Structure 1
Amino acid sequence: MPQSPAVPRTPAADPDAGRPAAGRTGAARRTELAAFLRSRRARVTPEDVGMPPGLRRRTPGLRREEVAQLAGVGVTWYTWLEQGRPINASVQVLDAVARVLLLDATEREHLYRLAGIPFVREPEADTDTVGEETQGILDALDPLPAAIYNARYDVRATNATYRAMWPMTSIVERWERNVLYKLFTVPACCQTFVNSADELPWMVAQVRRSYGRHVGEPAWESFIQLMVESSATFAQLWASGDVAAPGKRIKTFQHQAVGVVTLSSMSLSIDGMAEHRYVVYTPVSEEDRRRIETLRSFTDPVVGCSEHGRKLSVILADREGGDASRKSKERDPSASSADMPRSLTRGATGN
């Protein structure tokens, strides 16, 4: 029996038909993002984020509205994100969602890539960035003060003379080891930078130039947001849009114990460490050199101005006590918040 000629089938509706390849890739990435968020939400219990468990929960983990509430975003927006809709997610919002979902570094990186936001993994510790050989060169520069900065002015490593001049550099929390943060948030009376009116605008302009290569990266966006919120002066300088390149500068500092020290700073790039540089400070005069030697001789210097200054040993003791209180509070949530350590923000770093 003869067969009927084949009838062409009508293809099923394809929502991506006719889209450019980039559009289809974006849709696939959003679908993967939605699945990833749902899977991470399912593994976080209310107890994990300090919420009561509730009586009846039909699904494991947190509810969408709970994630939205804890992250400070709209429930509808977060629902659309989990549904893979084409919406924009900012760095700040993704940071908040990642925090609520307890994402580790690898998961956070995956989240940003799926959301189409540039991500650069930050080193877990300064030792991950600065190796023994690089640190050895830094130490060999003594008695010249020297440090390694990245493009944001994070202090990655220092030598002994640098620490003698700016001891707080090595004892504050890692996120505070940033020259700009110190210079813009230290009280005016504790400020050691004499010619800051000339140098600070140039430093901000230099960071702005580097920022152009990192727009959208979480670490950079978080840093700029912190600085703008912490200092009206920084916010004004940042809004100016000025850019500048690194180079030789003259910087003057006032130390309570020895008086004014004037230094010439020079930046030197480091092979194999992108956007990191040695910054070496050379005394301008023999008197400046003698004053640095005097600072190096102090075993327990006073940090800060005559009114707020405290001996370094007292600051370290307070810090150790604060760490002990924090650990105690972690063991006993009922501990008073008054036991928590004070922020150690006095005493500017070098620059």
Structure 2
Amino acid sequence: MDSAKQRYIELGDFLKTRRARISPSRVGLPEGGRRRIPGLRREEVASLAGIGVTWYTWLEQGRPIQVSAQLLESLARVLMLDKEETVHLYTLARQAPPVYYPAYNQTIHPMHQHVLDSLTLSPSLILDTRWNVIAWNRAASLVFLDYSLVPIGKRNLIRLMFTDSPYRQLFDDWELYAQGVLARFRAAYGKYVADPWLVDFVEELRSLSKEFDRWWPMHNVEKEQEKYKIVRHPALGQLDFEHTSYLVSDDTSLRLYVNTPMAGTGTGEKIRQLLGQTAQPVC
């Protein structure tokens, strides 16, 4: 057997073993239903990674398929690979390993999630350096988007800002706001300009969004800063926030974004009302 064919087979076998060790509950899927083998099904991995089931099946079967760094990033995130496993995955796929290793495991330290949950009326998120959404609180799900419904491989704030129509409609002056977000992303991009994932990500977004394609070559940059944010919620109407961000102390690749209701605007009461209307049942 030639080395190239063996490499594809090795890649397929590696993906199977990593898939088998991930329980559905770890990625937010129900445990019910009969499963012939442990772990996730192929179609579940494909859905979470945002790729086609047939394509992923061929990949596990060891067929000679070309894969991009961005796709490998999605698979590494869904399969919760550590740094060594990620390097192995990229090596088998004949791609340069990333120069930056995000936290692929979508579960953050319980203390950080507790901080998010304690910010009851403040929609809050934790993002990594690539602006992937790693964690969020209930207020963020209700005001902005239920991020649990977005495949892990596409759970990225820049992608949502430029490709998700309902998300775009939350902002009255979307163009101005989106350009500011893109400028802050561009500043972060400069630190990891050789990262293959980012190269593929930018190329894809330029093909998906005419605005992204038009603004990206302008090279506008902007630092993270406190600012006021206005959101136009479909049920609550105008919401006014003070937007602040903080580095997570034990992992500076993560940043906490907090949207605090502005005093005197009624925003806090509106969110309190929304939380009450959608109260989760007590078991």
Whether these two folds match at TM > 0.5 is yes
1:196-207 aligned at under 5 Å gives the runs 196-207=174-185
**How far apart in 1 are the matches of 2:86 and 2:203?**
21
1:40 aligns to what?
7
CA deviation digits over 1:252-305, x for unaligned, max 9?
1111222111111001111121231111111123312222222222329xxxxx
1:42, distance to aligned residue in structure 2 (A) = 6.3
Contact kept, 8 Å, 1:109 with 1:121, in 2: the verdict is no
Q: 1:140 aligns with which of 118, 129, 133?
A: 118
Give the TM-score taking structure 2 as reference length: 0.66
Would you say 1:289 and 2:256 are equivalent positions?
no
Q: 1:123 aligns with which of 103, 115, 121?
A: 103
**How far apart in 2 are the matches of 1:176 and 1:182?**
8
**How far apart in 2 are the matches of 1:176 and 1:44?**
23
Which amino acid is 1:296 matched to? Answer: L
**Does the C-alpha gap of structure 1 residues 109 and 121 become closer, same or farther in structure 2, counting only changes over 3 Å?**
farther
Q: 1:71 aligns with which of 41, 66, 69?
A: 66
CA deviation digits over 1:288-346, x for unaligned, max 9?
2222222222329xxxxxxxxxxxxxxxxxxxxxxxxxxxxxxxxxxxxxxxxxxxxxx
**Does the C-alpha gap of structure 1 residues 131 and 38 become closer, same or farther in structure 2, counting only changes over 3 Å?**
same
**Does the C-alpha gap of structure 1 residues 126 and 197 become closer, same or farther in structure 2, counting only changes over 3 Å?**
same
Contact kept, 8 Å, 2:244 with 2:258, in 1: the verdict is yes
Greater displacement, 238-247 / 277-286: 277-286
Contact kept, 8 Å, 2:121 with 2:260, in 1: the verdict is no
2:158 aligns to what?
180
**Does the C-alpha gap of structure 1 residues 36 and 297 become closer, same or farther in structure 2, counting only changes over 3 Å?**
farther
CA deviation digits over 1:78-109, x for unaligned, max 9?
xxxxxxxxxxxx957x96xx9xxxxx744223
1:151-190 aligned at under 5 Å gives the runs 151-187=129-165
3-state SS in 1 of match to 2:259: strand
1:274 aligns to what?
252
1:241 aligns to what?
219
2:32 aligns to what?
none
Question: Alignment length, in residue pairs?
Answer: 223
1:123, distance to aligned residue in structure 2 (A) = 3.4
1:298 aligns to what?
277
Which amino acid is 1:123 matched to? Answer: A
CA deviation digits over 1:40-91, x for unaligned, max 9?
146689xx9759xxxxxxxxx87xxxx3xx439xxxxxxxxxxxxxxxxx95
1:168, distance to aligned residue in structure 2 (A) = 2.2
**How far apart in 2 are the matches of 1:197 and 1:157?**
26
1:107 aligns to what?
88
**How far apart in 2 are the matches of 1:38 and 1:110?**
14
CA deviation digits over 1:179-218, x for unaligned, max 9?
2222211237971112322221111111111111212323
**How far apart in 1 are the matches of 2:115 and 2:241?**
20
Which ranges of structure 2 fall in alignment gaps of 5 or more residues?
13-55, 76-84
How much is the aligned-residue C-alpha RMSD, in angstroms? 3.5
Larger radius of gyration: 1
Contact kept, 8 Å, 2:193 with 2:199, in 1: the verdict is yes
Contact kept, 8 Å, 1:165 with 1:296, in 2: the verdict is no
**Does the C-alpha gap of structure 1 residues 259 and 106 become closer, same or farther in structure 2, counting only changes over 3 Å?**
same
